[in-house]
Amino acid sequence: MDKDSRPLRADARRNRDSLVAAATAAFTTQGVEASLEDIAAEAGVGIGTLYRHFPTRAVLIEAVYRSELERLCDAADTLLAERAPDEALAEWMQRFVAHVAAKRGMAQALKSAVASGDGSSELFAYAHQRIRTAAGQLLAAASAAGLVRADVEATDLVRAMSGICLGSDLSASTEQARRLVALLMDGLRYSAPASVPVTA
Amino acid sequence: MDKDSRPLRADARRNRDSLVAAATAAFTTQGVEASLEDIAAEAGVGIGTLYRHFPTRAVLIEAVYRSELERLCDAADTLLAERAPDEALAEWMQRFVAHVAAKRGMAQALKSAVASGDGSSELFAYAHQRIRTAAGQLLAAASAAGLVRADVEATDLVRAMSGICLGSDLSASTEQARRLVALLMDGLRYSAPASVPVTA
DNA sequence: TAACCATACGGAGGGTTCCTCCGGTTGGTC
DNA sequence: GACCAACCGGAGGAACCCTCCGTATGGTTA
């Protein structure tokens, strides 16, 4: 409880970050079965250091999953700062789908770790909350600017995107998912106040 | 094309069967990650023999999956011969659910092998067809005897059972799945001609 | 700034599993 | 009963896993 709160030593934090970065690369190119020794070498640390930070493969996978989740959700802010709200939303939705497609193996591995009784169902609840918030932020901005219709909730949007991801069963059909997301975005734009003024 | 058609030599066939049996046991108790050398030993053959028959783990998993599928579907005939058609149907449905619960890891492993481009999507099509036929046979018998309602298609029944399997997310809740199947069976019996004569 | 120690690092090493390869064996056939 | 194609077994090299402990270093205190 109070040893957790103490921050990591500088070198430890550095190594941890390198490991997560190397693991992210390895997992996405070779799948979650990638060799841990290779990951340690790629990160420029000894195998012992990897095991100290991440006692089991599942813990490492979870760390990668968390870091990628943060990256995706943080991108919402950046996108809003850089482009028009509707463009930001469209781009973020595409990234969301790409994210899910790439991390499917990881999510699967984490799910089977749930059975082993650690706290990773809590992880999924957190992930859902985090994504809903990011989506809501983008949706609100686009809606306030009159660029998308105002009668769609963030929850609905997330559900729709999840549906697209689940529906396109083969991870090969990334292109199809892309088109579906574009279609969904068009639907959001369709009766936006800017083109169809609110009458009620 | 013509070397495949030649039957296996007697000892080869015997060893193959032993291997599938041993693998079935190992996979169901330890999961699809079970040691192949242990499986070979358990089957009483050398590791080389295992690899000759099943060059990769995926091929072995597929063989086990096929054999279990046959076992499940062949049981339809046996059950029909042994008990009343509605009882046979009820029992078979329970076995179906148990089958799916036990083979989830295997199906997952096979699915990810699809990406590697062998012919296992064809396998799933075959499995679906085989199961639909078995279900249809039981349903027809029970329906003909007036023990279950006649307005349900085999396809619907399979879909309902699949739904139950997918719905009960944790493989721990086998008991819940059992109850749902019993419920479904009651629904099938409910307005059967024998108890509620057809009026229209 | 120097000394101290809790924290963190590295990688050798023992164990397990994978998979190949080839000399020996055996079922089926003439 | 003899022949050969088909089949078997398991030794062995490679890859990977994970632990353990001697060494190094960041941070803190005087």
Residues B136-154 pLDDT 10s:
999 999 999 999 999 999 9
Residue of chain B with shortest Cα separation from A104 = B112
How many Å apart are CA B27 and CA A173, to the nearest integer? Answer: 31
Nearest-Cα distance to chain A for B135, in Å, is 26
User: Above 50 in pLDDT, residue B2?
Assistant: no
Task: Express as a percent the part of chain A with pLDDT over 90.
Answer: 70
How many Å apart are CA A131 and CA A72, to the nearest integer? Answer: 9
* Least confident interval from A14-28, A145-159, B86-100, B185-199: B185-199
Q: What is the pLDDT of residue B200?
A: 40
Please list, in sequence order, all residues whose beta carbon lies within 8 angstroms of the beta carbon of residue A151, skipping any fewer than 6 positions away.
none
Q: Which residues touch strand D (CB under 7 A)?
A: A 9-11, 35-38, 47-48, 51, 55-57; B 3, 8-9, 11-12, 15-16, 44-49, 51-53
Position B198 confidence tier, pLDDT thresholds 50, 70, 90: very low
Task: Express as a percent the part of chain B with pLDDT over 70.
Answer: 86
Q: To the nearest whole number, what is the mean pLDDT of chain A? A: 88
Q: What is the pLDDT of residue A170?
A: 46
Residue A148, helix vs strand vs coil: coil
Q: Closest nucleotide (CA of B16 to C1')?
A: D7
- Best mutation site among A112, A116, A121 for testing chain B: the one with the most B CBs within 10 Å? A112
How many Å apart are CA B139 and CA B133, to the nearest integer? Answer: 10
- Rounded mean pLDDT, A143-172: 84
User: Above 90 in pLDDT, residue B69?
Assistant: yes
Q: Tell me which chain B residues have a C-beta less than 8 angstroms from the C-beta of A172.
A: 115
- Rounded mean pLDDT, A80-84: 97
Using the structure, give the distance in angstroms from the CA atom of B71 to the C1' atom of D6, rounded to a whole number: 29
Distances (CA, A) of A136 to A8, A50, A98, A143: 33, 37, 19, 10
Q: To the nearest whole number, what is the mean pLDDT of chain B? A: 88
Nearest partner of A40 among A27, A32, A30, A50, judged by Cα: A50
User: Above 50 in pLDDT, residue B51?
Assistant: yes
Nearest-Cα distance to chain B for A44, in Å, is 30
* Least confident interval from A7-21, A69-83, A148-162, A163-177: A163-177
Residue of chain B with shortest Cα separation from A169 = B111
CB contact under 8 A, B172 and A108: no
CB contact under 8 A, A105 and B115: no
User: Which of the given ranges, A152-166, A170-184, B6-20, has the highest pLDDT on average?
Assistant: B6-20
Position A115 confidence tier, pLDDT thresholds 50, 70, 90: low
Amino acid at A42: E
Using the structure, give the distance in angstroms from the CA atom of B83 to the C1' atom of D20, rounded to a whole number: 63
Using the structure, give the distance in angstroms from the CA atom of A97 to the C1' atom of C6, rounded to a whole number: 45
Q: What is the pLDDT of residue B169?
A: 53
DSSP H helices in chain B: 10-30, 36-43, 47-53, 57-82, 85-102, 104-115, 120-144, 154-167, 174-190
Q: Is the Cβ–Cβ distance between A25 and A43 less than 8 Å?
A: no
- Rounded mean pLDDT, A123-137: 95
> Looking at the partner chain, which of A108, A114, A171 has a beta carbon nearest the beta carbon of B115?
A171
